[in-house]
Amino acid sequence: MVTPKKIAAGFTGFASVLWLGLTAAVAASQRRLVFNPTIEREVQSPRSSGHRTRQVVLRSRDGTRLCGWLMTPQVQGPRPAVIYFGGRSEEVSWVVRDAGKLFPNMTVLAMNYRGYGESHGDPAENHMVEDGCLFYDWLAARGMVDARRIAVVGRSLGSGVAVQVAKERPVHSVVLITPYDSILAIAKRRFRAMPIEYMLRHRFESIKYAPSLTAPTYVLRASEDDVVPHSHTDELVAKLAQLVADDTVPNSDHMNIPYLEATQALIASFLTRQFSQPVAIPALPPAPSPAIAEAEAEITAEAK
């Protein structure tokens, strides 16, 4: 005879199996949940109206081919520089098109992550940070770049990359567009019933590194953001050691914020002001870790 107790036990067992199945599915598909590589170019033939534009290929320390663009200003002499890190679904060719407004009179390096655009490989947090440090070292070694004035700009997922690169390298300034405290915290909010902290490999815990950042940092939020709730940005902002400003762009959302004229004007103004200030420290070569130094020797740049 089937009793209520047996029925309850059956439901409990079914719920447990379902929970374990969902947990396993999330664990197995976490790369797809965190990253959404976009291969097709957003702008087919990108050119910056304010820069000389050159497509480049850099080799990571493990030989992975990474593709993007280097934009150099028309003005002669060593110039300040910017490295841009895109969002979860972002292919960065649009940055080339808008670089004249975003980064006037600055050298700009915009590279697609592994698996994005024409870059090879698969995306992963550790690779994004390692590659970002390589980008910094390669750019700092270029003769027409002022190595004392290299900023990092990160949007959404890329804010987590920018924060970690700023921790590892002596960047001049940091711009974070719709940043978060950590992907782990956002995932725990979305998957409340699952042990996310034991499953998630790509955590992007910016809040852990924020107190140690020494570069002036500028935060830009979307007025309407259903991807990164403002509470997650609040947590990060509270920990940033060198916060200069925390602005909200009117009539913006998580997707359109970098394309808006208001956003681009704010970023250009902040970086121009920061780069115009005297730099007390002398221009020193970067001091990468042995692993990065070994990889740097293998980097190649190819004009296309």
When pLDDT is averaged across residues 183-189 and rounded to a whole number, the result is 78
Residue 57 has pLDDT above 90, yes or no: yes
Task: Name the pLDDT band for 270 (thresholds 50, 70, 90).
Answer: very high
Q: Which amino acid is at 211?
A: P
Chain centroid to Cα 36, Å, comes to 14
Residue 213 has pLDDT above 50, yes or no: yes
Instruction: Give pLDDT, residue 74.
Output: 86
Q: What is the mean pLDDT of the chain?
A: 84
Q: Are residues 148 and 172 in contact, defined by beta-carbon separation less than 8 angstroms?
A: yes
User: Containing H/E element for 95?
Assistant: helix 93-102
Q: Judge whether residue 24 has pLDDT over 50.
A: no
Q: What pLDDT sits at residue 290?
A: 40
Q: Taking residues 84-88, what's their average pLDDT?
A: 97
What is the model's pLDDT at position 237? 98
Q: What pTM does this model have?
A: 0.84
Is 44:55 a contact under the CB 8 Å cutoff? no
- Token duo for residue 275: 């780069």
> Quick one: pLDDT at residue 31?
65
The answer on pLDDT for 10 being more than 70 is no
Q: What's the angle, vertex CA 30, arms to CA 182 and CA 222, rounded to 5?
A: 40
The candidate with the shortest Cα–Cα distance to 113, out of 180, 66, 149, is: 66
Quick: pLDDT tens for 165-178: 999 999 999 999 99
153 within 8 A of 136, measured Cβ to Cβ? no
Share of the chain above pLDDT 70, in %: 78
Q: Which amino acid is at 236?
A: L
Q: What is the pLDDT of residue 190?
A: 67
Domain ranges of the chain: 35-296
pLDDT of res. 194: 55
Q: Name the phi and psi angles at 159, rounded to 5.
A: -65, -35
Tell me, what's the pLDDT at 12? 44
Higher-pLDDT residue of 203 and 174 is 174
d(CA 153, CA 277): 19
Is 201's pLDDT higher than 70?
yes
Question: In this predicted structure, what is the pLDDT of residue 195?
Answer: 57
pLDDT value, residue 115? 97
Sorting pLDDT into bands at 50, 70 and 90, what band is 247? very high
Whether 88 and 156 have beta carbons less than 8 Å apart is answered as yes
Give the pLDDT confidence score for residue 279 in this predicted structure.
Answer: 79
Distances (CA, A) of 209 to 32, 61, 127, 159, 164: 25, 24, 17, 12, 7
Instruction: Please give the pLDDT value at position 7.
Output: 45
Decide if pLDDT at 9 tops 60.
no
Topology classification of domain 35-296: Rossmann fold (3.40.50)
* pLDDT score recorded for residue 4: 54
Residue matched to tokens 């995306």? 123
